[in-house]
A and B are shown apart, each in its own frame.
Chain A
Amino acid sequence: NAGVTQTPKFQVLKTGQSMTLQCAQDMNHEYMSWYRQDPGMGLRLIHYSVGAGITDQGEVPNGYNVSRSTTEDFPLRLLSAAPSQTSVYFCASSSLVPGQGRGYGYTFGSGTRLTVV
């Protein structure tokens, strides 16, 4: 059971370059999300999805795009990388969508450490 798989683990980009961070889960989870983690800031939500074909913005969506064409995959695209996007990016999934009330935990990937120079 692989859980949530993120690739690549490390990436260095030049300012202005674009790239896609991959996230895949094999647990048939409806909910998937992307967070970025910066020192002293905790995790901040970038985008999330409650099912295939449905995405929405989180707290810090600017400069990022997402799509959800399948249940398993939720890629995050950086359109034109900036040094402010240097961070560690985590993908998370859950079997229940937010607001369902019964309570659930997120399963996290191991992260992608991105440096923009």
Chain B
Amino acid sequence: SQQGEEDPQALSIQEGENATMNCSYKTSINNLQWYRQNSGRGLVHLILIRSNEREKHSGRLRVTLDTSKKSSSLLITASRAADTASYFCATDAKNYGQNFVFGPGTRLSVLP
């Protein structure tokens, strides 16, 4: 079973709007990461948040982490067509040597 699960599975917004994606996980973690994947490409690391952090920013990205609810959110502000991609959260799990386990992703479409 997957450690992380993104919600929604798909999201469609207009350029300039904000996009929010959520990630829920099952067991305690040390770190949570978000990645972006453009169609037909590999994943690109966006941001990492540690379990003792509650919020992190990177450019137009804002990530929050609520360890009591075992959830995280990724906010992309002022979205652009180039933000169209799939977004994955990854959590380090005690299984498999604390390798990162990826959820199924949220497919974001930003319409011009």
Contact surface of A with B, Cβ cutoff 8 Å: 4, 33, 35, 40-45, 48, 50, 56-59, 90, 92, 98-99, 101, 103-111
Give the top 10 A-B pairs by smallest Cβ distance, nearest first.
A105-B45, A108-B42, A98-B98, A43-B102, A99-B98, A42-B104, A42-B102, A108-B43, A110-B42, A103-B48
Give the shortest distance, in Å, between B32 (CB) and chain A (any CB). Answer: 10
Assess the A111–B41 pair: CB atoms within 8 A. Answer: yes
A98 contacts which of B4, B41, B99, B103 (Cβ < 8 Å)?
Answer: B99
Chain B residues within 8 Å of chain A by Cβ, number = 28
What is the bound-complex CA distance between A104 and B44, given in angstroms? 13
Give the shortest distance, in Å, between A74 (CB) and chain B (any CB). Answer: 14
What is the bound-complex CA distance between A109 and B31, given in angstroms? 22
What is the bound-complex CA distance between A35 and B88, given in angstroms? 14
B92 contacts which of A56, A59, A98 (Cβ < 8 Å)?
Answer: A98
Instruction: Indicate the member of A33, A42, A109 with the most B CB atoms within 10 Å.
Output: A42
What is the bound-complex CA distance between A101 and B31, given in angstroms? 8
B103 contacts which of A33, A42, A45, A92 (Cβ < 8 Å)?
Answer: A42
Query: Is B59 on the interface with A (CB-CB < 8 A)?
Result: no
Residue of B nearest to A43 (CB): B102
User: Contacts of A110 on B, CB cut-off 8 Å?
Assistant: 41-42
User: Contacts of A106 on B, CB cut-off 8 Å?
Assistant: 33, 35, 43, 45, 90, 100
Assess the B97–A56 pair: CB atoms within 8 A. Answer: yes
Known: A41-B104, A103-B48, A106-B45. 16 other contacts (CB 8 A): A4-B42, A33-B99, A35-B102, A42-B2, A42-B4, A42-B103, A56-B96, A90-B42, A92-B43, A98-B100, A99-B98, A103-B30, A106-B90, A108-B42, A108-B44, A110-B41
